[in-house]
Chain A
């Protein structure tokens, strides 16, 4: 018999609505699990037991009153870069270490409206800049499958908490792979929706044209429930797309026979890890068994993806992070001599090395005389990559590729080698550049038992197709059912 914290949202929802269990019990189970495992994992920046139990009690009242929705009473963890009114939103940075959000992000409002239970905020790379959750001011999160390993990043805490049964589902944000990479490294299911599908209002910006909020869950079913909740137009976000989204749960269990998956040559030519190659080959067999055909294709500008990303994202970041200056909120240096010195000391003390590196990169790229050579050129590459995907989708319904070139690596292994760290995102970054939806699903394990994820990429606003493919794949496999030995 599974403990409550091991169950999925769809299972818990059934138990809650049939009154076999109360949300307060479920929440207590999660809080106990956090209590038991958090010292090892460090998935959270802030755990909010009182708020959670209060929300759970309210959820139970709604269930009794018959006004509950499918996610009412389900505990969720939220990445520390989203605003929950009254809670700290530190972005895992010293500069916002004492910042309490004065308003709710649109996704948080939706979570409250749905009657979900907020457990706390999850650890991340500082300002979502990183692939390992090691740049957090609060210290790294550990991979639940192997405590010496990184959980992936930047939404490492969100993925680790779901993998470890600390949360049923969680919210992450993905600018260059920050949902998909940790989902892959922690063997959970995560999706970065199409840019514009989920409101960014209340998500502390890293790179505004690339950032997108998405859910992390144990399987495609829970992910579909979360997409139903999160997707939709928000008048507070000008880049939010005014369109009707389908009921994503209606794509669960739908056959995928006759679909075509594309295999981009450029992705596979980068692969030299035997575990990842084996997992990809196994996945192909599963899909073929489900009646899916495969087509090789080319995305010729993919190789420029990382270079262009590391112009665009830092450029936007250099401007987005300018507001952290010690004037209005957050950290302010104690000793300073005049205004400029206050700015300099505050920011020198408040930001970590990786954030500073990206601010400097972006400031340089946007400076007078360099703009055309860097930012403008990167923007053109971005257009070319988008065009590449567009023509690729002429011949396939979705693309299948790895999430990362390797399984999870050791804590400390790449933290001093930014280029190696950046290359972790070689398969995920192009998806953000093109604004496409991309999903990470558990694909198996390495010879040493470390998770390896699969990435599925669909055309704009075809999240439903990803749900359909993932659901079909998970019906045939049990990778997503395995739990880490904590």
Chain B
């Protein structure tokens, strides 16, 4: 029997607000433990939460970008459970009435573009962190993260493969980052994902028993964990064993999942409406304003790049991965309107440079203006593509102007055919043996002659011209 997987994902995204969800403490990362706290986020007796309006706006922005319906009235609820990193021992979240519902995002699959439905997006507050002493049986509590606003994005169980899951996460993250509502950093935990997975015989309508998988902190681990879990469940079903409804933890070192707690041990969160917060009314005018101000989203931009610039979908996908990169591409294109050439340079040379740089595009010394200048110089035959790469590297490290670097280093391409003819003749004279072999039919040696000429010119020779001249000179020698 053939089996198929049914996957639903719950994504937690930290919002990039300056202050926390229900108090005015800063959300800055990496401060001294417990320095970004106040009586409210410390859960002191008598304190009360007041909603950060920015957190609501960011949530609405994401919800609209994911085609959700915004509920005019929603409610905060308390999720009750005891843990030392949760100072009130309840988390302010949303339960019955979330801010947004019924959305979708588009993902690329092998069969083309597919929509993954979103059940809901709701707001909640983050918990703190426990730091366990390595020498003594003691744990420390850091409440700096406590109360940082989160949104939880819950997908419909419409994802079928681990690849689709990763694709869905990439799409969500791209939107979040485009909207400037989340930095999307999985390692630092500002973008987290839990998965609900079940398996059923192909063609069966009803869902199988699901497990919840936690602790996947990269796209790759999400794929590994899901694949393991799907294989495990399929194997169990094939062997006639039941699937146990439970929460399982992924272990990235072994690539396996193991049971964390069973359904019977599952928390009863005793949700109820938080009496400290009035029902949340989202002003339709606010929704309209946020909707009007939404930037072009990654999928739209990608489509436009393909249509408007005629670049391959793969290029468009790479270039639209971040809003900054896409803007860089478009700006360069304004100055040098050859899309494929610009795309190639950005995808190879620029991205190679960026890989080594922590700060990325923003701190890159080569601005679109300089890149366009460089491309123009190649296009005009002033330098070869190969030389250009060296010039580009120099531009990246010194921030210099391409023309200036070329002049200073004497890199201007030799396109003077008299000078080059001399060079070609000298190379052929110095390699008589190879010339004879070539003339005797060993055509492959042509590349060798080209290489020798380029070397003799220190790479500055115009390659096309070298080609032409070599053909001409070799033909002349064959007559003797």
Contacts and interface: CB of A to CB of B under 8 A. Distances in A.
A228 interface: no
Interface string B277-294: 110000000000000000
A30 to B, nearest CB: 26
A361 B49 CA distance: 25
A310 to B, nearest CB: 15
Interface residues of A, number: 44
B82 A343 contact: yes
A239 B276 contact: yes
Nearest to B80: A319
A83 B89 contact: no
Interface stretch (A153-161, A204-212, A269-277): A204-212
B39 A102 contact: yes
Contacts of B42: 328
Given A102-B39, A327-B84, A209 B275 contact: yes
Interface centre among B39, B43, B48 (most CB of A within 10 A): B48
A91 interface: yes
A83 B43 contact: no
B48 A316 contact: no
Nearest to A312: B275
B328 interface: no
Contacts, number: 100
Given A83-B46, A89-B45, A236-B48, A319 B84 contact: no
Q: What DSSP secondary structure best describes chain B's contact surface?
A: loop
B44 interface: yes
A393 to B, nearest CB: 23
A203 interface: yes
Interface string B33-51: 0000001001111111111
A300 interface: no
Contacts of B87: 323, 327-328
Contacts of A375: 272
Interface string A237-253: 11100000000000000
Contacts of B51: 238
A235 B278 CA distance: 13
A268 interface: no
Nearest to A379: B273
Contacts of A235: 50
Contact of B270 (A99, A239, A366): A366
B278 A239 contact: yes
Contacts of B39: 102-103
Contact of A322 (B46, B84, B90): B90
B46 A363 contact: no
B88 A323 contact: yes
B268 interface: yes
A250 to B, nearest CB: 30
A368 B270 contact: yes
Nearest to A205: B46
Contacts of A315: 272
A226 B87 CA distance: 34
A367 B87 CA distance: 21
Contacts of A238: 48-51, 276-278
Contacts of B145: none
A316 B270 CA distance: 11
A419 interface: no
A208 B275 contact: yes
A325 interface: yes
B141 interface: yes
Interface of A: 81-83, 89, 91, 96, 99, 101-103, 105, 200-205, 207-209, 235-239, 315-316, 318-319, 322-325, 327-329, 339, 343, 363, 366-368, 371, 375
Sort A-B residue pairs by CB-CB distance and give the 8 closest, nearest first. Answer: A322-B89, A209-B275, A366-B270, A208-B275, A204-B45, A202-B46, A204-B46, A368-B268
Interface of B: 39, 42-51, 78, 80, 82, 84, 87-90, 141, 268, 270-272, 275-278
